[in-house]
């Protein structure tokens, strides 16, 4: 049990700003970090949904409510996938050689494509959230979108070839790949089932499809996955989920 708690704590500490259960780093629990990734998404989604209820309760002005709900999942995740989205956009949209793309991916500076990706992400997310706020106020998708996107990304991170043998993605390649993938698939299936019965399946399906497509596109362009690539896929998935919520 202690090993599982350490795995959850490490996952929470790596992928969110939520204080971990324990500050201890446990190498034996490293293989559990990615299987707990959707659980981190559930915590973020629960807080996101709770914030929407709170803002409704205190009758927050629509624009402020939309701004808060747009920024909330980004802040709760520590903006980690926003950084990955910008770095990966700079790399894949440069249309240079594979070697140069990988060099750009490692460059800590923000390029033109990264800045454009950030602008598209924030503007479109805000417009989608504002539409939901003004029209249907069906916020339940906030709970499920972070779960399904992290599930899709987690499966890719475990199973797809890493760009570097010493990078972030390589850290989670260990043994028991099939067992860990099965756990995440079960978590995704539970998420989809709950979304179906609660009538919020379209945003969940859109988020999953977009995250998988973005992951596949980046993998093909860079011939591997990395932490930044996973952030790119996660951002794409969450954006698509929000747009689907607005279109409902």
- Structure confidence by residue, pLDDT tens digits, 28-68: 667 788 999 999 999 999 999 999 999 999 999 999 999 99
194 contacts: CB under 8 Å, gap ≥ 6: 144
pTM: predicted TM-score of the whole model, two decimal places: 0.93
Q: How many CB atoms lie within 10 A of CB 214?
A: 27
Whose tokens are 């490490």? That residue is: 10
Q: How far apart are the C-alpha atoms of 66 and 60, rounded to whole Å? A: 9
Which H or E element spans position 194?
helix 177-197
d(CA 28, CA 215): 28
- The pLDDT tens digits for 155-195 are 999 999 888 876 666 666 666 788 889 999 999 999 999 99
141: which 2 tokens? 């998708």
């Amino acid at each position: 049990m202690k090993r599982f708690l350490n795995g959850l704590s490490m996952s929470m500490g790596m992928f969110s700003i939520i204080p971990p259960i324990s500050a201890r780093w446990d190498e034996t629990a490293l293989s559990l970090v990615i299987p707990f990734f959707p659980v981190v998404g559930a915590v973020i989604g629960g807080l996101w949904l709770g914030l929407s209820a709170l803002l409704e309760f205190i009758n927050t002005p629509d624009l402020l409510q939309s701004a808060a709900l747009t920024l909330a999942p980004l802040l709760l995740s520590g903006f980690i996938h926003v950084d990955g989205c910008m770095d990966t956009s700079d790399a894949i949209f440069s249309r240079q050689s594979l070697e140069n793309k990988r060099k750009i991916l490692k460059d800590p500076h923000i390029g033109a494509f990264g800045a454009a990706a950030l602008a598209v992400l924030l503007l479109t997310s805000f417009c989608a959230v504002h539409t939901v706020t003004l029209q249907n106020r069906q916020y339940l998708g906030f709970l499920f979108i972070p779960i399904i996107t992290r599930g899709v990304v987690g499966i890719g991170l475990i199973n797809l070839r890493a760009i570097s043998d010493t990078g972030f993605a390589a850290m989670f390649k260990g043994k028991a790949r099939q067992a860990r993938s099965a756990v995440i698939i079960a978590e995704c299936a539970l998420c989809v089932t709950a979304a179906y019965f609660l009538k919020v399946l379209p945003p969940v399906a859109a988020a999953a499809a977009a995250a998988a497509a973005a992951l596949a596109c980046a993998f093909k362009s860079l011939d591997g996955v990395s932490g930044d690539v996973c952030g790119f896929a996660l951002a794409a998935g969450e954006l698509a989920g929000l747009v689907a919520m607005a279109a409902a």
